[in-house]
Structure formats: structure tokens, C-alpha cells
Structure 1
Amino acid sequence: MGEPIRVKSLDPTLRHEIAGILKKYDFSNCLTCGMCTAGCIYSDLHEDQDPRKFIRKVALGMREEAENDPFVWNCTMCERCTVECPMGVNIAAITRAFRGKTPVPPGHLQVIADDHIRTGNQMGVEQIDYIETLEWIEELLQAQLKDPSYKIPLDKPNADFMFCFNAREIKHYPADLQTILHVFHAAKANYTISTKRWDATNICLFTGKDDEFCEISRPLFEEAQRLNPKEIIVTECGHAFRSTRQFARNYWDGKPIPVRHIVEIYADWIKEGKLKLDKTKNTVPVTMHDPCNTVRKEGVYEPQRYVIKNTVMDYREMNPEGKYNICCGAGGGALAVAATKQMRMIKAKPKVDQLVATGAKIGCIPCHNCIDQFNDMNKFYKLGMKMEHLSALVENALIEDIPEDAPEETSN
């Protein structure tokens, strides 16, 4: 048995303090039924991963125990527990509130936030490197499209949308950005990319530091206000999408601007005939992961299924999927917490079992954070699969009209 709980050591102000941080969110309707723990796929995989115990500490006023509970940073904030809760208690929101009380977040989380505030992007990419990378991608697309006049539309006012992405697509994965811009070109999209503010990520979605969360996201919306697009489209990055929408919903006080995920506009283009695809170009069996921030938290479920079913010949669903999907194990900023690599691979096992059960050879992972985890689990568990963003599969299925007078490619 554990130590007895001493009533005199309980702090009744704790629940009110957390409720204040959550803007009066009431979690007192918790029934202590344990459905949250039943819904947490990780509760039996390692210690200090029991949401029911954590929320009881908060409700009882066990301040010291709750504030120092490893659960606060072990939790991936995936909200799988909330799906099962009969009262809809959002334990992920409570976890984030406690994270915000931590003076210095673990791992590299604070470094990422500081870099974003300093440079305008989470990877600390300097302006000259950003512009040069865009110029390089532009040159590659000119060759790929056989069109030397192709230009990336930068700082274009009044476009249909402003495209915002993840700094990894500039620093580490420029080929991913090239792929996306190729799809945009095929759809004859009227869009713009800002030369000033373009990174839609916000690591403070995970650290709980609301002042820094606003300091990071506000300039992006100010840039959108300057360029006046009809909406913001966010790349395949669940946390970038979720944080941008959260800021638009809860903090932005300027001209309202809709925020949508890139898979939503792909679905629109396919339905409208603007994006012509030949799914016989993708014959290898494919399964798809539902990123927690995109699907369970923001409800974008049908669009990505509509896109993939129009993109590949052999699509195989994982079970469970949709809002009941299993988190990949890298959510909540776990990738940036150096000490959690081993724990991430432990948490990856249920998702590995899902992947293997489908018999698919390609895992479609429409999220930057998730795909890094999937690549790690692919190597760790020796799955021998290929992990792809949805945009890559879409690009491979493109049917394009190549101008008859386009110059022939020449070999060096």
C-alpha cells in the first residue's frame, strides 16, 4: 500500500488555480470511473501513465504530487482518454496547464520556443537561408515542369490562400515542399507564400506557455492580415494545424481568417476536377495513420480518406481508426524531450502491431511530427515499410497537361 493521504496536506485551491488557467473549464464532473485509463493505450506499457490517478491528485488538491507527477510529461496529450470519458473531461488540457507551470520544460522544448521567437521559425532558419532555399526549389520546379518561367508566388496580395508550413520543410525536407508546390501548380492554385512569416508550428502548444504561444503565432496572423488571403492553408503537420487553429479561435483579435489543413483543399480540388489523378500509378498496398491533432482534436477525418482513396489502388484501413485511432507515441512534444527515445519506441509497439496487421507496404503519414516517429519505429522494429506523406502519393498520381512547346530535357 502507498502512503496514506493526509487531509491537512491537501490544497483545495489547486483545482481553482487550474480551472483559472483553463478559463473556468470545469473538470469536477469526473466520476473516477477509470474509463480514461482504459482508453489510454499506454497505461499498461510503462509506469507513471495513469490518467485516472493524475486527475484524482488534481481534484483532491495533492499539489506537490500532481506538479511532480511524471505523467505530466509522459502523456502525449493525444486525447484518446477523453474519447472514452462519459463526462468528456479533457485530461490533455489539464496536463498542458500543469506543463505551463513548469519553470523550464524538459529536453529541447524551450530552445525551440526561444528560436522561434528570435527568428520567426522553430528551426532557427535565417532569412537569407530561407530565401535561397525557395530560389533553389523554384529552379528545381522549373526543370521538373519544363517551364523556365515558373515562379513561386511570394507576398502576393489577395490570394485564395496563404500557405504556411513547417520549418523542417525548409531546413531538412525541401523535397517535401517541392512536392507540395508541384501539386499546387497542377491544380492551378491561386496562393501565396510569405517571405516574412511562414512557419505555422508552435511548440508552446505542448509547453503550455500561453504568453509565448501568442508571441509565436500572432506575427503569422499579422502577416496574413497584411497579404489578405481568403484563408490560411497549413501543411501536413498536425501540431502546426492545431496550434494555428487554436490561435485563430482563442487569441486572434484581428480580421477573422479561416484555417484549413492541406488535405481539405486537396479533397476540394479533386471533387472540382482541378486536381486530376490516376490512382493506377500507386499500386502498392497503402495504409494511413490518423494524426491526433488533425483527426481526433480537429475533426478532419473524411477529407484525407477521400484523397487517399482517389490516389491509391489498394488502401487498407488500420483498426481502430478515426477518432479512436492509436497515437503514434510521439505527440505532446515527445520528439523534443531527449530522454524519451526509449519510451517512444515502447509506445510505438501498438501502432507497429496495427501497421503489420494491414499487410501494407507503404504507411501514409500526413503529419511531420508523426512521420519522424514512424521512420524511427520502422528502423527500430525492422518493418521494411516505406513512410510517405499524402502529398507524395498525390504527386505520383498526377495527370498533368505538359505544354506542347515545352523544351526537351537535356542530359549533362
Structure 2
Amino acid sequence: MTEAILAANLNPGFRAEVQGLIGNFDFGNCLACGMCTAGCPYSDLIPGHDPRKFLRKLILGMREEALNDPYVWLCNMCERCTVECPMQVNIANIVRAVRGNFYDRSVIPGFLQKVVQEQLDTGNQMSVSQEDYIETLEWIEEELQEELEDPNYKIPLDKEDTDFMFAFNAREIKYYPADLQAILKVFYAAGFNYTISSKKWDATNLALFTGIDEDFYNIQRPLFEEVVRLRAKELIVTECGHAFRSCRLAYRKFWQGKTFPIRHILQLLNEALNDGRLQVKSKVTEPVTYHDPCNAVRKEGVFEEGRNVLKSFCADFRDMNPNKKFNYCCGGGGGLIAMPEFTDIRVRIKGQRKADQVRATGAKVVAVPCHNCMDQFNDITKKFELGTKNKHVCTIIQDHVVLPEKKD
């Protein structure tokens, strides 16, 4: 029998407190229809993983029940529920507000807050020293000089008045420099006029997931200040969904300085293909499918650009079903990658949905334009023995671009 809810135990002040944190949202918009639960990819896989019930706890003022609900930290904040909601209630925003305002930093699960603090202390989430950063760029530069057969190739560091400043993920410096090398090779092929900062270059921000706005903006602001210092026309963000979302969200919510556009690297590459700066030399022959990162696609609207790039370079492109704004979260978003206590749920349970999607395409290569998603896909591929290769888009296309003719 369902336990009765006693009116005397309800706390209307809690509802008002939460509502005050999320601006103009009116809890009265919720129809309690359950479409959010139907839209959540995991509500039928994890007992009690129910956005409707979580929202009702907030609306009824059930403070203790809401704050002790595992849903708060298991939610991927992917907004798949909002796609189905007839009133467009953004449960992800509500979850983020609850995370950031009702929990002490010391009780945030996993190592989320540890990474946030390291970025506040060092300027990047991997605590890469300035010496190691510059040395890695020099190594990439030497590798590209050899690969491109261009001894004069230089990474444009701190160049002023360029078309864009490129910001990336600290993992690309510490663990995956070959990915950054692939990106810069594609930039070379397109002849982009750009710069990379020697000071502030990490676009990531795990405070997007902790919900603590003070940390969130203190991490993001210096990157924006660097765009202004170098007088770049816009900011281009690497293949990292949460980095892109963090930049755009912080810009909209907090930035009051000089204005500039923020675009995803796939938007830039799609534009360069359309105007002829980036040209196709040859096609990838293996069947390729594409994962839609929730933060870049569903939340920030980068629906077609990644597909257009892959269709240009791939002879056999196969879309997942569903896709674009209806696509399923990979299960690693919302900070779950940084919460080891939830690894089994993240990979074995949530990962099953995405594994089934990938397997149904018959693709051999999965284009994953997001570092968080890449970690999850690597875990899923191993767990479910998919036999697929997970790659960033620039890594897929780097050997298929037309390079500038060498000068005598």
C-alpha cells in the first residue's frame, strides 16, 4: 500500500525556495501528466528514476524526500524529458538548481567538486602546468611540421585580431594530444586565421554539473576575458558538449563584457565546407554513425552541422534512431562520469540503451563529438562487446582533407 502523505509534514517554503532559484518558472505549469517520465530513457530501467515524482516532491514541499532522492545525482540533465513535456518544464535546470543550492560542497558525489577546485586553483581541470602545456604544444607543432611537410608551420599562440580564439579540453593536452593534432591539421587545411591562448585555453567546466554558480562563473570568466584580450572576433569550442554548453550558458547568464559569438567547432567546419575553404580529398569507406551529445545538440541546437561534415567525408553514413533532439543520452552526462559510485548504473544499465542504438546501425565507427560521451562510449563498447571504434569527428576526417599545395 502507498504511504499517505501528511499535509503537516509538507514545507511550502521549500517549494518557494526552489522556485526562487529558477527565475520565471511557475511550478503550476506542471500538469503531472507523466510525459517527462515517458521521455526519460531510463525511467523504465532504474526503479524510482522518475522525473514526474521528483517534481511532485518539490511542488508539494517534501523537502527531505526530495533532497534524499537518488534522482538528484543520477539524472543526466539531458533534457530528453523536456522534449516530451507539453508545458516545456525544464527539469534539468531544476535539478541543477537543487544540486547547487541545497548540498554542501563536501557531500557532492564522486570527484566532481575535486575537479572543480583544481580548475579554480590551476586554470584547467587536469592541473596541467604552464611548462607542460607549452611543451605539449611544441611537440604537436613539431609533429605537424613533419606530417604536413611544412617546416615553417607554427601554432598561432597569442596572435591578436584573428577570426577566432580556439578553446579546448584539458584532456586534449594531458592525455589525447593526437586529437588536438588532428584538429590543428584540419585548421591548417582550411587556412583558418585563429589563435590559441598561452594563458586560458580550457573550455571545460564541471561546475555545470555541481550547479554552484559561483564556481561556474569563476571558472568561465577568465576564458571570456582572454577572447577580449586577444581581440578575437569569436570563440570556437572543441568537440566537447559540456564545454560548449558551459561557455554559452555562462555567457548568457553572467557575462557583461564585450560581446562576441560562441560557436561549436562543427559549426565552423560545416561553414568552411560550404564556402570551399575546407575540401574533401577522399571518402571514409567504413560505415559511420553519429552520436548527438545532449549539451551541444538538444540544448544548444547544433543539429545538422556534424551530420553535414560526416556526410561530406563518409561514403556510408548511418544515422541512429531516434536522433537529433530526440536522441538518447549516452548515460555519462550530468557529471556521472565523475561519480564512480554510480559506475554500474551508468555503464551496465544506462549504457544498454545507447549500445542497442549503435548496434542497430551496423556501423563500424561511431563519431562522438564530446569528451564526456567518449569516456562513456569507450566503457559501453567494452561492456557490450560492440566491436566499434569511437572517434571524434576531426580524427575521422583528418586524413581526408585537401591540404594546401606546397610552395617551392
Indicate the TM-score class for this superposition, using the shorter chain for normalisation.
Answer: over 0.9
Instruction: Provide the residue aligned with 2:367 in structure 1.
Output: 364
- 2:77 and 2:95 in contact (8 A); partners too: yes
Instruction: Provide the residue aligned with 1:20 in structure 2.
Output: 20
| 2:198 aligns with one of 195, 199, 209 | 195
Shift in Å at residue 68 of structure 1? 1.1
- 1:76 and 1:334 in contact (8 A); partners too: yes
Extract structure 1 runs of 4+ deviating beyond 6 A: none
Instruction: Provide the residue aligned with 1:241 in structure 2.
Output: 244
- 1:248 and 1:256 in contact (8 A); partners too: no
Structure 1, unmatched stretches of 5+, are 406-412
Question: How is 1:13-412 mapped onto 2 (pairs within 5 angstroms)?
Answer: 13-100=13-100, 101-104=102-105, 105-280=108-283, 282-345=284-347, 346-403=349-406, 405=408
After superposition, give the CA deviation of every residue in 1:238-274 in whole Å (9 maximum; x if it has no partner).
0000000011111000001110000000001000110
After superposition, give the CA deviation of every residue in 1:204-239 in whole Å (9 maximum; x if it has no partner).
110000000011001111111111111000000000
- 2:120 and 2:218 in contact (8 A); partners too: yes
Shift in Å at residue 71 of structure 1? 0.2
**Amino acid paired to 2:222:** P
Instruction: State how far apart, in whole Å, the 1-side matches of 2:333 and 2:9 are.
Output: 34
- 1:309 and 1:315 in contact (8 A); partners too: yes
Instruction: State how far apart, in whole Å, the 1-side matches of 2:393 and 2:375 are.
Output: 14
**Amino acid paired to 1:91:** I
Instruction: State how far apart, in whole Å, the 1-side matches of 2:232 and 2:407 are.
Output: 33
**Amino acid paired to 2:186:** V
- 2:280 and 2:402 in contact (8 A); partners too: yes
Shift in Å at residue 396 of structure 1? 2.3
Greater alpha carbon shift after TM alignment, 56-65 vs 11-20: 11-20
Work out the number of aligned pairs and report it: 404
Structure 2, unmatched stretches of 5+, are none
**Does the residue aligned with 1:339 lie in a helix, a strand or coil?**
helix
Instruction: State how far apart, in whole Å, the 2-side matches of 1:227 and 1:72 are.
Output: 40
- 2:297 and 2:325 in contact (8 A); partners too: yes
Shift in Å at residue 279 of structure 1? 4.3
After superposition, give the CA deviation of every residue in 1:100-136 in whole Å (9 maximum; x if it has no partner).
1211311000000000000001111111111111111
Instruction: State how far apart, in whole Å, the 2-side matches of 1:241 and 1:228 are.
Output: 20
Shift in Å at residue 80 of structure 1? 0.3
**Amino acid paired to 2:141:** E
Q: TM-score when scaled to structure 1?
A: 0.97
Shift in Å at residue 168 of structure 1? 0.4
**Amino acid paired to 2:31:** L
**Does the residue aligned with 1:310 lie in a helix, a strand or coil?**
helix
**Does the residue aligned with 2:184 lie in a helix, a strand or coil?**
helix
After superposition, give the CA deviation of every residue in 1:280-318 in whole Å (9 maximum; x if it has no partner).
2x0000100000001100011111111111010000011
Shift in Å at residue 401 of structure 1? 3.0
**Amino acid paired to 1:2:** T
- 2:188 and 2:403 in contact (8 A); partners too: no
